[in-house]
Amino acid sequence: MTQSVLAPPAIAAATPRVGSPARVSVRRNDDVTRLLPRPLLVVIIVVLLAVVLIPVLYIFFASVNSDTGVASGQFFPTEFHLDNYLLIWNTVDLGTGLVNSVIVCGAVAVVCAFVAVGSAYVLVRFVFRGRATYLRALLGLQSIPGTLMLLPVFVLFASVGTALGVPIIGTRGALFVTYLTFALPFSTWVMVTYLRGLPRELEEAARIDGASSWRILTRIVVPLSWPGIVVSAIFAFLLGWNDVLFASVLTNSDTRTAAVALQVFGATQEGGAIPLYGQMMAASLVCALPVVVLYLVFQRYLVGGLTAGGVK
């Protein structure tokens, strides 16, 4: 379900690494390892910074500008007011959306990380028939088009709901189960690559002392793998946070996530008078903020998670 995973199926995770050997080798002798002549290097960096930052700054500028100012193509706001940040809670119904997103995605993150640890532990430390298939499936399942799954998941939930006499479509539970499942392959893979890097001596010692697998998992493996657990939890969280496809069909106006609230708000502004651009940008900023903060706080681990697997 790559289209809503923020990360394409990057294949591995932050591997537990003591110290950082790469950094040491880069440090010495800058001139020798330099790859580009200085002027070219400066040009590339300046151009890319501009390309990235201009739209990002625009989000903020437009959010404090007047709607007519945005509509007439101003970059720098001619007025400055923060009203939009107050208004969005009523017009976009952003509060409900954010609460729903936090509840669903938070639950998905926690449950997913722990289910993933258990699976990954078995996959890394034990041999069993179908192990390679399982690992390959973890990678393959991430690329299944979400649009392929949407209709059958919808029909399945609707049918089960009718059979049981309880509504499933439109509940947070439906969204939770869906996100949890689609987050699992990547989170499990993240944990698999993480656990591979853990020394197994402690576990072996514990096993000799007669500890059960469950005890080893909860007392040794989990405490040692917090960085990996955090990474897989964050990726699971973001999968839900960024999804529009499933949420647009599986929720109603009460259980709508922030992503759908913003999308619906944007769509209803088309046509008619001047759209409420300022509020749209303010809401965009608010929806993006948790993601950006998560990244900045956990950047070191997450970047490892995004890249490590790409290097064969």
Interface positions, 121-160, toward other proteins (CB under 8 A): 121-123, 125-128, 132, 134-137, 139-141, 143-153, 155-156, 159
Phi-psi category of residue 272: left, alpha or beta, with phi > 0 → left and psi -120 to 50 → alpha: left
Q: At its nearest, how many Å lie between other proteins and the CB of residue 135?
A: 5
**By CB under 8 A, which span of 83-91, 165-173, 181-189, 224-232 interacts with other proteins?**
181-189
- Considering only the C-alpha atoms of the chain, give the largest distance between any 2 of them, rounded to a whole number of Å: 74
Tell me: does residue 58 bind other proteins (CB under 8 A): yes
Which of 236, 230, 241, 227 minimizes the C-alpha distance to 292? 241
Which residues, numbered 270-299, are part of the site for other proteins (CB under 8 A)?
A: 270, 277, 280-281, 284, 287-288, 291-292, 295-296, 299
- The C-alpha atoms of residue 99 and residue 52 are separated, in whole angstroms, by 30
Residues 13-52 touching other proteins, rule: CB under 8 A, are: 15, 22, 25-37, 40-41, 44-45, 48-49, 51-52
Q: Write out the binding residues for other proteins, residues 233-272 only, by CB under 8 A.
A: 238, 241-245, 249, 259, 262-263, 266-267, 270
Any residues with CB less than 8 A from the CB of 161 and at least 6 apart, and which?
Answer: 167, 168, 169
Min CB(86)–other proteins separation in Å:
19
DSSP 170: B
Among 64, 116, 169, 236, binds other proteins (CB under 8 A): 116
- Of 253, 203, 239, 200, residue with least CA distance to 113: 239
Q: Looking at the chain, how many residues does it have? A: 312
Least separation in angstroms between CB 254 and other proteins: 19
Position among 113, 184, 250, 282 found at the interface with other proteins (CB under 8 A): 184
**Min CB(152)–other proteins separation in Å:** 4
Rg from Cα positions in the chain: 23
Q: How far is CA 265 from CA 80, 160, 192, 260, in A?
A: 23, 31, 40, 8
Judged by CB, which is closer to other proteins: 241, or 301?
241
The rounded distance, in Å, linking the Cα atoms of 84 and 58 is 15
- The interface with other proteins within residues 72-101 (CB under 8 A) comprises 72-75
Closer Cβ to other proteins, 1 or 255, answer by number? 1
